[in-house]
Amino acid sequence: MVDIMRFMAKVFFFVFVVTWGIDTAPGNLHAADREVILATTTSTVDSGLLDVLIPVFEKQTGFRVKTIAVGTGQALIMGERGEADVLLVHAPEAERKLVDQGIGIHYRLVMHNDFVLVGPASDPAGISKRQISAALKAIFEKQAVFISRGDDSGTHKKEISLWKEAKLDPRGKPWYHESGQGMGATLQMASQKSGYTLTDRATYLALKNSVELVPLCSGDIPLHNIYHVMQVNPERFTKANAAGAKAFIDFLTAPETQTIIGDYGRSKYGEPLFFPDAIRP
């Protein structure tokens, strides 16, 4: 009888541990369970924000983050395939499709900044201080060099939508070039060719001293740049690190982390690179 009771007690304890996630505490994590695969946009990497946030998360939780910086479109594809545990991206319309399909769960608003149309100080198309649609029309009419990321990233998606709203299609024009690379490389290419490009403000501020480009068009509501985080549904992909992904989401949206996000860039650039938006449920 005593042996049976001991056995039942062990079974109860095991169920309790699994149900409440006690084995996910930092000291109890197995090596294989420590890695969290984060698929994210290049802007969160190029801006340096993740270099600040990830070490704090790893120290607090015991998880280790493997960051894969790609365009938002590619990050979402990784989510669809179950190749990542958590996504930090900035293309709300495309993100919503994953949530509606039940692939993305715990979908949370994290932060925002904005997109900026930058170009050479000489401004050959004369777009300075114009509304974004008028600026793009001027570039189109002047056939000024424009460098697109062309990589299905969140920034590329935004750029294409802005051209569409202006009722213009620059694809195939000799002055319109696609870098097929991240934001940092695209800014360098625009600088070298004395061309225009659309960039998130954070990456531009982080790299502005290494490029000969200046902000020429900004502030319009269509240029808002919103970042969300979501977990890849472990019921759809059983190998996903559910505990690690949820811990990362909770970390990003925690008040302490939101404060770090809001302060990032102030001392170096004189202004924040991102604005925290998470609201605790």
24-36 tens-digit pLDDT: 444 455 555 799 9
pLDDT of residue 191: 98
- Reference 109, options 88, 129, 86; nearest CA is 88
Q: What is the pLDDT of residues 215-272, one digit of tens each?
A: 999 988 899 999 999 999 999 999 999 999 999 999 999 999 999 999 999 998 888 9
Give the pLDDT band of residue 128 (cuts 50, 70, 90): very high
Contact assessment for residue 61 and residue 251, using Cβ atoms and an 8 Å cutoff: yes
pLDDT of residue 6: 39
Distance from the Cα of residue 33 to its chain's centroid:
24
What does the pLDDT average to over 108-120?
A: 96
Q: How far apart are CA 49 and CA 52, in angstroms?
A: 5
Residue length of the chain: 281
Q: What is the pTM of this model?
A: 0.79
Q: How far apart are CA 276 and CA 133, in angstroms?
A: 28
What percent of the chain shows pLDDT beyond 90? 79
All structural domains of the chain, each given as residue ranges with its CATH number in brackets, are 33-113+224-276 (3.40.190.10), 114-223 (3.40.190.10)
Number of Cβ atoms within 10 Å of the Cβ of 29: 18
